[in-house]
């Protein structure tokens, strides 16, 4: 009797045939294609509406594949791979000549990561190569953290989505540049900068904009991760005043807060966000998607704390916001 193939088998067959698959990682869900097939990678850009010069991260099974994609690999890269892979850390390294321009955006660098989600880790081990896999959403929109989010984004246009449950980190990977003399933090994310600095024994240079490091990397445009409903960010008191003002014109308002509400604003849908940085990061995108449902005219989000462990959250909020109050 012939048995039906598993979702993992189906994913492998589709990827080898140059098709796209939605995959879970511990950070966000990715839209994956065989990174060695430029035509397959082009399908990612077409489905996402992503600019052609915007590079994508190549996902690999682990450190043993680093030299398949990168050359002149510094000792720092091996140290970080040993410390954090599989995990939420992307390394920017000098590309090998065979790496397609479709992956690198025409640059001489490539971003590499070994994701920690067990389902995708097994997929990569069986696949043997690398998967280009930016977030599985329309370019610039809120990243997906569940398989349902991916389906909501693409529907039947995407033939297979591997359901690995909700993402446990919830924001994208930390990106560290290792192509110059000094390691550079290009994007804060799932691995704290302080943990990376502890492994390397040096401070990271921080770059607010990728252009200052002469690199284009994933997820660092000024407007990114954004809900389609306008998102205004500010201290709670300013948000409550803004909500009161907007209610007078009949607007429908959702207020996402951490602090205790100073006053109840009748007619406003209030939602309490987590108090700690890790659960806040895990819930951020799902919450934005929950309220970005056409039922509200504006979303008001209380400014997160400015402590170091909130760096990745504040980076994503800054890029998602359409305006600031207070």
Q: Is there a single domain that holds both residue 20 and residue 100?
A: yes
CA distance 151 to 133: 16
Q: Is there a single domain that holds both residue 159 and residue 305?
A: no
Q: Is there a single domain that holds both residue 142 and residue 192?
A: yes
- Within-domain flag for 223: no
Q: Is there a single domain that holds both residue 202 and residue 255?
A: no
Name which of 251, 293, 284, 292 is nearest 268 in CA terms. 251
- Within-domain flag for 114: yes
Q: What is the CATH number of the domain that holds 40?
A: 3.90.870.10
Name which of 164, 151, 80, 84 is nearest 122 in CA terms. 164
| pLDDT attached to residue 213 | 46
CB 103 within 8 A of CB 112: no
- The pLDDT tens digits of the residues spanning 293-309 come to 999 999 999 999 999 99
Q: Is there a single domain that holds both residue 193 and residue 249?
A: no
CB 273 within 8 A of CB 280: yes
CA distance 274 to 310: 12
- Within-domain flag for 218: no
- Within-domain flag for 178: yes
| pLDDT attached to residue 54 | 86
- Within-domain flag for 243: yes
| pLDDT attached to residue 211 | 46
Q: Is there a single domain that holds both residue 205 and residue 236?
A: no
Number of domains forming the structure of the chain? 2
| pLDDT attached to residue 53 | 83
Name which of 92, 141, 83 is nearest 116 in CA terms. 83
Q: Is there a single domain that holds both residue 201 and residue 276?
A: no
Q: Is there a single domain that holds both residue 300 and residue 206?
A: no
For the record, the structure tokens of 238 come out as: 């300013």
Q: Where are the alpha helices (DSSP H) in 134-267?
A: 147-154, 193-200, 236-247
Other CB atoms closer than 10 Å to residue 273's CB: what's the count? 17
Other CB atoms closer than 10 Å to residue 16's CB: what's the count? 14
CA distances from 199 to 67, 225, 310 (A): 21, 30, 20
CB 97 within 8 A of CB 43: no
Walk along the chain (326 residues) in steps of 10 and give the mean pLDDT of each run: 77 97 98 97 94 91 97 97 98 96 94 98 97 95 97 94 98 96 94 97 79 53 81 95 94 93 79 96 97 96 96 95 92
| pLDDT attached to residue 214 | 54
| pLDDT attached to residue 263 | 65
Q: Which strands sit side by side in the sheet containing 323-324, from one edge to the other? A: 269-272, 253-257, 298-302, 231-234, 323-324
Q: Is there a single domain that holds both residue 238 and residue 164?
A: no
CA distance 226 to 288: 8
Q: Is there a single domain that holds both residue 106 and residue 248?
A: no
CA distance 207 to 174: 13
Q: At which of 158, 178, 213 does a domain end?
A: 213
| pLDDT attached to residue 210 | 47
Q: What is the CATH number of the domain that holds 251?
A: 3.40.50.11030
- Within-domain flag for 220: no
Q: At which of 153, 183, 213 does a domain end?
A: 213
Q: Is there a single domain that holds both residue 19 and residue 140?
A: yes
- Within-domain flag for 262: yes
Q: Is there a single domain that holds both residue 17 and residue 149?
A: yes
- Within-domain flag for 219: no
CA distance 323 to 136: 25
Q: At which of 168, 185, 213 does a domain end?
A: 213
The domain of 193 spans 7-213
| pLDDT attached to residue 17 | 97
Cis? peptide before 100, omega within 30° of 0: no
């Amino acid at each position: 009797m012939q048995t039906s193939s598993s979702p993992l088998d189906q994913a492998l067959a589709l990827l080898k045939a140059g098709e796209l698959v939605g995959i879970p990682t511990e950070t966000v869900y990715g839209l994956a294609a065989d990174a060695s097939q430029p035509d397959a990678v082009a399908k990612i850009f077409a489905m996402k509406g992503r600019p052609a010069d915007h590079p994508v991260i190549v996902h690999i099974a682990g450190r043993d594949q680093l030299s398949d994609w990168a050359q002149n690999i510094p000792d720092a890269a091996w140290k970080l791979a040993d410390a954090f892979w599989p995990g939420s850390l992307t390394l920017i390294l000098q590309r090998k000549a065979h790496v397609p321009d479709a992956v690198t955006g025409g640059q001489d660098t490539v971003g590499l990561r070994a994701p920690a989600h067990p389902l995708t880790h097994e997929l990569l081990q069986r696949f043997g190569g690398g998967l280009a896999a930016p977030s599985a959403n329309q370019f610039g929109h809120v990243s997906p953290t569940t398989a349902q989010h991916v389906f909501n984004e693409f529907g039947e246009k995407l033939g297979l989505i591997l359901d690995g449950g909700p993402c446990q980190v919830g924001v994208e990977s930390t990106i560290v540049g290792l192509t110059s003399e000094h390691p550079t933090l290009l994007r804060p994310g799932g691995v704290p900068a302080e943990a990376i600095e502890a492994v390397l024994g040096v401070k990271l240079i921080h770059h607010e904009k990728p252009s200052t490091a002469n690199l284009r990397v994933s997820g660092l445009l000024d407007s990114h991760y954004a809900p389609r409903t306008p998102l205004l960010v500010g201290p709670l008191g300013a948000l409550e005043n803004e909500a009161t003002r907007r209610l007078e014109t009949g607007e429908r308002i959702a207020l996402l807060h951490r602090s205790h509400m100073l006053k109840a604003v009748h007619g406003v849908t209030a939602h309490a966000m987590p108090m700690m940085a890790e659960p806040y990061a895990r819930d951020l995108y799902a919450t934005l998607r929950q309220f970005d449902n056409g039922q509200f005219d504006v979303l008001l989000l209380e400014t997160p704390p400015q402590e170091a462990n909130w760096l990745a959250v504040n980076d994503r909020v800054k890029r998602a916001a359409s305006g600031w109050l207070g």
